Amino acid sequence: MAKVEYDDVWRQFVGQERPAVAGLTLDIADGEFLVLLGPSGCGKTTALRMLAGLEHPDRGDIRVDGRSVVGLEPKDRDVALVFQSYALYPHMSVRDNIRYPLRVRGLSSADQERRVTRAAELLRIEHLLPRRPGQLSGGEQQRVALARAIVREPRVYLMDEPLSNLDAKLRTHTRTELKALQQQLGVTTIFVTHDQAEAMTMADRIAVLDAGHLQQLGAPDDVYQHPANLFVAQFIGSPPMNVLAAQREDGGLVVAGGWRIPLPRLRDTGATTLTVGLRPEAISLTDDGHPAEVLVSEPLGSEVIVNVKLGDALVKVRTGPDVRPQAGDHVRLRADPAGVRVFDRDTGVALA
């Protein structure tokens, strides 16, 4: 178990215009489940690989338990990495795959056997031990890869999109299991994903990255409710936050279609052009709100996403399952004052 620190870490690849990771500073607590979240090319995998020793930072320091690991070979860092491709050794049986890191460490064969059995039991793959990786399904391979990481009892687990090759149902299932496993083992885990739902459900804290820069670091609720900027606001949440250009008028805000919504207290009143962000659940359909026309309703069973036309903008509203307005219906919208987020349109920074 260990505490991990990134201290102003930079990494630029040859032939690239901008750095893959730019000035990343991040403290990860002992036993924490931290998710690095962002679109492809945001630098999340590079950040992970630098901790593993598979890439080298141009500048900055990475410390595990206060000791710099930058000069160490991957083999000396005592971290385990679960690859997106699983990277199981195809010429070895599942048993030998899981045993490999123990054999490398020169454990007695009785010890090896005991730990392999325990890891296999934990992941319920005892029956797969004699097989070759090529004979396993994607989900089974994923479990073997996890077992190979767990069996070592490393200081830190690193996971590079380990769920993205699984089908949707298995992915949701494994998500839950992985989170439970991490809580049981209590080992510091850094998990890379581009899937915001994975991040929201599994993380103790989420670090959102874009174009090599850390955008926001916080608990899932915090990141969801109070995004630090427009990028985070639109990257997290499904459907994403409604974003509308707004004018300030008589102490309120006017957005597309002339809809007046309450203006929250702004941190910085200097911004001239504003953007309003409203989560789909921060808007409700009422009797006395602003009139709008329904474009289409998307029933999802437990809820309905109603798409309404507001001037030339499209707004998504989350409602209960029994509300089913039809296309062309006229509805009235009301914004929850506590759910109104305001951003500086030029910089994207959150003002409220």
- Binding positions for other proteins, rule: CB under 8 A: 52-54, 73-75, 77, 79-81, 83, 85, 87, 89-91, 100-101, 104-105, 148, 152
Shorter beta-carbon distance to other proteins: residue 75 or 169 = 75
In three-state secondary structure terms, 186 is coil
| Residue among 336, 337, 278, 338 nearest 308 (CA) | 278
Q: What are phi and psi of 240, to 5 degrees?
A: -70, 170
The torsion of the CA quartet 330, 336, 341, 342, rounded to 10 degrees, works out to: 70
Minimum CB–partner distance for residue 147 and other proteins (Å): 13
Helix (H) or strand (E) holding 278: strand 274-278
Minimum CB–partner distance for residue 106 and other proteins (Å): 10
Shorter beta-carbon distance to other proteins: residue 11 or 290 = 11
Shorter beta-carbon distance to other proteins: residue 105 or 124 = 105
Shorter beta-carbon distance to other proteins: residue 87 or 349 = 87
In three-state secondary structure terms, 222 is helix
Minimum CB–partner distance for residue 81 and other proteins (Å): 5
Minimum CB–partner distance for residue 83 and other proteins (Å): 5
Shorter beta-carbon distance to other proteins: residue 79 or 128 = 79
Minimum CB–partner distance for residue 153 and other proteins (Å): 13
Alpha carbon distances (Å) from 66 to 161, 170, 218, 253, 343: 27, 38, 22, 49, 37
Asked if 56 and 47 count as a contact pair (C-beta separation under 8 A), the reply is: no
